[in-house]
């Protein structure tokens, strides 16, 4: 087995035993169960009901809370190991820094992605069991969106983890980042900026740069092709990209952002003091 795979596998085993993982899996698995119990599949939005309605609600909840969960659970990975002297021990082994870093990254990606993905799969299995039509196009789109959300915020988490020297600082920075991204979503600060007649180019650029905004818009776009339920920025963006173009953008841009962040984190990790 390659060394990075051994590190990834070890990180998966450690994470699965941790309390945060138990709570994380419970929240996202429990959310799907709760949505079924609450009868979301029987309610209607914009003419949509059934499992599609449930998946939409689930992905909207994921857009709202998954980033902060990913940040909180991953931001401590490198800085936490450094503070507890775990990193000093592992790095005394003949292992390349890239193998260690990317092994941790890949392991952590699976740990955060698989519970939400399994929740999605669980919803479709249960939906099939109780004879609800499974909207497979939504299933695949939302699975891809979950990959993009996890990859993006994992990258941010690893960058913050290598930049900071203390876990408390890393946690604070990640919360501030999440709040800033949340503030610059369509219905909050951007709405205010439009009211105050800010330059449309500026507003659209900010919205495009915000991965949370792109996730939210992409999650809605198949239901509501004109995005009437969202604010004005999403509509302008949609006019510019078109539906398919925007979906491609919403999947590739966050992954690119996450990879650039993780790679920057790796360069910082490699060049400075590792412990």
Residue ranges in contact with another protein by CB under 8 A: 1, 3, 6, 10, 13-14, 17-18, 84-86, 88-89, 91-97, 271-275
Q: How far is the CB of 4 from another protein (least distance, A)?
A: 11
Q: Which is nearer to another protein, 85 or 137 (CB)?
A: 85
C-beta closer to another protein: residue 96 or 252: 96
User: At its nearest, how many Å lie between another protein and the CB of residue 95?
Assistant: 6
Q: Kindly state the smallest distance separating residue 260's Cβ from another protein, in Å.
A: 24
Q: How many angstroms separate the CA atoms of 268 and 163, rounded? A: 7
Q: Measured from the CB of residue 66, what is the shortest distance to another protein in angstroms?
A: 24
Give the residue with the Cβ less far from another protein, 12 or 70: 12
Considering the complex, what minimum distance in angstroms separates the CB of residue 158 from another protein? Answer: 19
- In the bound state with another protein, the residue whose beta carbon lies nearer, of 13 and 137, is 13
Measured from the CB atom, the residue of 37 and 93 that comes closer to another protein is 93
Q: Residue 106: name the closest of 246, 269, 259, 250 by CA.
A: 259
Q: How far is the CB of 156 from another protein (least distance, A)?
A: 24
Residue closer to another protein, measured from CB, 172 or 274: 274
State both tokens at 17. Answer: 């035993």
């Amino acid at each position: 087995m390659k060394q990075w795979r051994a590190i990834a596998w070890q990180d998966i085993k450690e994470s699965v035993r941790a309390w945060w993982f138990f709570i994380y899996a419970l929240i996202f698995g429990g959310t799907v169960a709760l949505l079924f119990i609450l009868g979301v599949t029987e309610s209607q939005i914009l003419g949509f009901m059934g499992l599609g309605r449930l998946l939409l609600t689930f992905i909207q909840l994921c857009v709202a809370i998954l980033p902060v969960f990913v940040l909180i659970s991953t931001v401590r990975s490198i800085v936490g190991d450094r503070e507890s002297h775990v990193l000093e021990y592992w790095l005394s082994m003949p292992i390349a820094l890239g193998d260690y870093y990317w092994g941790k990254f890949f392991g952590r990606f699976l740990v955060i992605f698989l519970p939400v993905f399994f929740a999605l799969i669980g919803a479709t299995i249960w939906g099939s069991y109780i004879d609800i039509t499974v909207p497979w196009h939504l299933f695949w789109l939302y699975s891809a969106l979950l990959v993009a959300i996890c990859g993006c915020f994992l990258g941010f988490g690893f960058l913050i983890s290598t930049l900071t020297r203390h876990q408390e600082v890393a946690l604070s920075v990640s919360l501030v980042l999440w709040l800033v991204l949340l503030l610059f979503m369509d219905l909050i600060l951007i709405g205010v900026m439009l009211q105050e007649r800010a330059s449309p180019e500026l507003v659209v650029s900010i919205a495009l740069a915000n991965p949370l905004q792109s996730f939210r818009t992409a999650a809605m776009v198949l239901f509501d092709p004109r995005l009437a339920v969202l604010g004005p920025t999403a509509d302008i963006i949609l006019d510019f990209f078109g539906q398919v173009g925007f979906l491609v953008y919403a999947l590739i841009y966050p992954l690119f952002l996450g990879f650039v962040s993780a790679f920057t984190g790796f360069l910082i990790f490699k060049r400075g003091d590792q412990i």
